[in-house]
Amino acid sequence: MNTSLSKILITLIILLALAINLSAIPIEDDDEDLFPTPGSLRGPSRFLAQYSRGLLLKCNKNPRLCRAKGSPGPDCCNKKCVNVKSDKQNCGLCGKKCKHQEICCKGKCVNVMADKKHCGGCNNRCKKGNSCMHGMCSYA
């Protein structure tokens, strides 16, 4: 009878430990970094991908995500945080792509090889009377 009582007691202890372990909820801090950091060059494992907070959060479900520290931009386009003032794939609005030779400056697609207001890069204005050729300001 003593051995059967100890088997029951051990079984109850194991079941209690499992119940406590399964019911435990991790405490989440709102100030915590919301973006995933890769654990290796190959990226997170499948196991971690299922449980990683950063991978589960999408800006379409939580718009505040894009305004968090370290975010690529304040705007949410296609479930990703971007800056529509500088993102070549979402220039000015979501889904507006710049052409191959253009970049996004202040939300407008410009050719920095020929644009006098953005010569060679955004906001690099040529002086009055100069023109932009091959991304450099020169006398006309």
User: What whole-number distance in Å separates Cα of residue 18 and Cα of residue 12?
Assistant: 10
User: What whole-number distance in Å separates Cα of residue 90 and Cα of residue 107?
Assistant: 8
Instruction: Write down the pLDDT at residue 40.
Output: 45
pTM above 0.85, yes or no: no
Alpha helix (H) residue ranges in the chain: 2-23, 46-51, 53-56
Alpha helix (H) residue ranges in 33-116: 46-51, 53-56
Give the H or E element holding residue 103: strand 103-105
What percent of the chain is predicted at pLDDT more than 90?
Answer: 33
pLDDT, tens digit (0-9, with 9 covering 90-100), for 64-103: 888 888 888 899 998 899 999 999 999 999 999 999 889 9
What are the CA-CA distances from residue 52 to residues 27, 32, 38, 55, 59 (Å)? 14, 13, 11, 6, 15
User: What whole-number distance in Å separates Cα of residue 123 and Cα of residue 105?
Assistant: 8
